[in-house]
Amino acid sequence: MLSLLKSGLASAMVLGMTAVAGAQAPYYEGKTVTAIVGFSPGGGTDFFGRLVAENIGEHIAGNPNIVVENMPGAGSVLASNYYVDRAERDGTEILVGTGQLLMRIVLGLEGSTASLADLQPIVALPMGRITFGSTEAGIEGPSDLLDPAQPLVLGVPEVISTIDAVLGLELLGADYRAIIGYEGKSEAYLAFERGELNLDAQTTPVFLQQPAIAVEEGRAVPLFAQGLLDNQGELVRDPAAPDIPTVQEVYRELHGEDPSGPVWEAFKAAVTAIGNGGKILMIHSDAPDEAKDALAAAVQSLLADEEFLAEAAESTEGYDFVAGSELNAAVQAVANMSDEDTRWLRDFLTENFEMQFE
């Protein structure tokens, strides 16, 4: 009897220790996490997704395997629809999108099934943009936008991807024509080089690699930078292109006062989304708290990793990763766009670019 009692106590102790060990096991231990990228391989969003995915796994408690799956289509709307409608909601699938996607969701783009309430941001990389003109078309500076030697022509592959240039030109009062249908921003720039367009806009990293050469050779001139919004909601210069004035500064130069009105409010909302939001990693809002907490802790650890930051700095052009309350505030600012400004922007995009909204 005593022997049986001792055996039972030993078994209970083993079972208890096993239960405690199981309870203490990291949530992601033994799991595989799939990062779904809403664009094709090789682009900026894919680069951001892979940069984070290839480095964050060792910072997640339990060290899960991280794989990247590309799901391009409709400016990442295809991926976001899959993510909110069909993806596992246990934290084993995360979404790599853009601030442009946030803009599409907030505006209620036809065909998009996601809402901002479905998504919780984890980490983002802000991204600036530069609008520039062709000196061969007689554009020497911003003042030529109001009195051009030739009709102004801007290439618009997809209007949300070019919204900073479109709203910037509208704000300044430029009379321009938009040519729609280019497959992407690279194709639009090639058309600019061929002389088919005399206005173009590219992300700042791309501008510094390609159009900046045309600027050095005297064939192009920067007109305005999109800029970023600081913590006080003020538009500030692009940290990767600090010598190029923001559209707000150019407006003051051309019109002698600060901009105001629905175009200006729409422009700031766009900057909050596509500028401050930039490239962004997200998880389901209703994912388990253990998953969200583990990823939040991993991001903090990753952003304190000097080796990772040194590697990232070679490609991020001086932009700093954003996470936590600062990122949540930026996304909330997009969601808080007023009904009046939202209606104005929807009407503008429908009338000028035939975009349809739910």
Q: pLDDT tens digits, residue range 189-247?
A: 999 999 999 999 998 988 998 899 999 999 999 999 999 998 888 999 999 999 999 99
- Helix (H) / strand (E) element for 70: namely strand 65-70
Tokens of 220: 């192009």
**What pLDDT, on a 0 to 100 scale, did the predictor assign at position 252?**
97
Between CA 49 and CA 275 the distance in angstroms is 17
Given a cut of 50, the residues of the chain with pLDDT beneath it are 1-2, 4-6, 9, 20-22
**What pLDDT, on a 0 to 100 scale, did the predictor assign at position 81?**
95
**What would the CATH number be for the domain defined by 129-268?**
3.40.190.10
Between CA 324 and CA 141 the distance in angstroms is 39
- DSSP conformation class of 273: I
Report the candidate in 93, 67, 97, 99 with the shortest Cα–Cα distance to residue 80. 97
Identify the three-state secondary structure at position 35. Answer: strand
Between CA 143 and CA 347 the distance in angstroms is 28
Q: Do domains 34-126+278-344 and 129-268 have the same CATH topology?
A: yes
C-alpha distance from residue 253 to each of 14, 64, 139, 144, 224 (Å) = 77, 53, 16, 12, 12
Strand runs labelled E in 71-198 = 93-98, 119-125, 129-134, 152-156, 176-180
Q: What is 34-126+278-344's CATH number, 3.40.190.150, 3.30.160.620, 3.40.50.920, 3.10.450.50?
A: 3.40.190.150
**What pLDDT, on a 0 to 100 scale, did the predictor assign at position 94?**
97
Q: How far apart are the first and last CA of the chain?
A: 75
**What pLDDT, on a 0 to 100 scale, did the predictor assign at position 6?**
46
Q: What is the reported pTM? A: 0.85
β-bridge mates for residue 236, sequence order: 228
Side by side, the strands of the sheet bearing 152-156 are 176-180, 152-156, 199-203, 129-134, 220-225
Tokens of 77: 């709307």
Place of tokens 């783009």: 109
Tokens of 233: 């909601």
Report the candidate in 35, 54, 232 with the shortest Cα–Cα distance to residue 122. 35
Domain definitions of the chain by residue range: 34-126+278-344, 129-268
